[in-house]
Amino acid sequence: MKKEFTCGLRDGIPIALGYFAVSFSLGITMVSAGISALQGAVMSITNVTSAGEFAGVRVIAAGGTLIEMALTQFIINLRYALMSMSLSQKLDREMPFWQRFVIAFANTDEIFAVAMNHQKSLTLPYMIGLQSLPILGWTAGTFLGAAACGLMPASVSVAMNVMLYGMFIAIVFPVAKKSKPALVVSLLAVFLSCLFRYAPFLQGVSEALSIIICTAAAAALGAVLFPVEDTERAGSEKE
């Protein structure tokens, strides 16, 4: 049990470092929206989601309604429902309800990706270990970013902004290099995402909705063209 926890902690270190950098710039954004460092830290520790929080800050800055806030979060974070569904397949079927309540809390893109790459079926100690440092890094980064706002040159925060994308590339590229289905799905997602960005008639679609559509379409096509084997998840082998 203890080994599972430390194993999770170790796997969470790179995520925590990446989160710290990203949430640092999130904290800076929050200050300009009139959110204090403490409020930012509360938001980060209760939400643990980059895109959702970025959007939430904009809603607050614009003085949006609570309905608008709920809808924005629903659309932007709907992908977590797909991830949770996927994750539930890797949990022990006998895992009690309350443990699932804990695991659900910080099912982020990166924690999900690492958890799905984990060789064995997922236990509560492993998931708590995996989630603790990223939650800490995410919250501390937000707080310090908001607190240190104004002390830091913009060129540094801009460069740190790119770290999150670097992490995404580090997760996907090695798999896409080895697996043709993953490569095709990835390329299709990029193609669709560019289409939403540059095609004039699609530019009105919000970024959040575009991500949902790109994800669903690319994954659906992958599922039709390259169904994974029933016995084993095709990509769960370590890179």
Restricting to residues 139-198, name those near other proteins by CB under 8 A.
155-156, 158-177, 181-182, 185-190, 192-194, 197-198
Q: Which DSSP string corresponds to 177-190?
A: HH-HHHHHHHHHHH
Q: How many residues bind other proteins (CB under 8 A)?
A: 106
Considering beta carbons, is residue 69 or 148 the nearer one to other proteins? 69
In a 13 Å sphere around the CA of 178, the CA atoms on its Cβ side amount to 10
2 or 228: whose CB is closer to other proteins?
228
Smaller CB separation from other proteins, 2 or 224 = 224
Nearer to other proteins, 3 or 68 (CB): 68
CB nearer other proteins, residue 150 or residue 230: 230
| Alpha carbon distance 137, 157 (integer Å) | 16
Question: Under the criterion CB under 8 A, does residue 123 sit at the interface with other proteins?
Answer: no
Which residues, in sequence order, are CB contacts of 135 under 8 Å at separation 6+? 45, 48, 106
**Do 160 and 41 meet the contact criterion of CB atoms below 8 Å apart?**
no
Residue 199 binds other proteins (CB under 8 A): no
User: Which of 1-9, 104-112, 118-126, 139-147 is the region at the interface with other proteins (rule: CB under 8 A)?
Assistant: 104-112
With beta carbons less than 8 A apart as the criterion, state whether 165 and 110 touch. Answer: no
Q: Does 132 bind other proteins (CB under 8 A)?
A: no
Within 43-82, which residues bind other proteins (CB under 8 A)?
Answer: 43, 46-47, 49, 51-53, 56, 59-60, 66, 69-70, 73-74, 77-82
* Alpha-carbon 99 to chain mean position: 21
Name the DSSP class of 153.
-
> In angstroms, what is the C-alpha Rg of the chain?
19
Phi, psi of 104 (to 5 degrees): -65, -25
**Minimum separation from the CB atom of position 43 to other proteins (A):** 5
Rounded to whole angstroms, how far apart are CA atoms 174 and 185?
Answer: 14
Please say which residue, 2 or 119, places its beta carbon nearer to other proteins. 119
Q: Is 202 in the site for other proteins (CB under 8 A)?
A: no
**42 lies in the binding site for other proteins (CB under 8 A):** yes
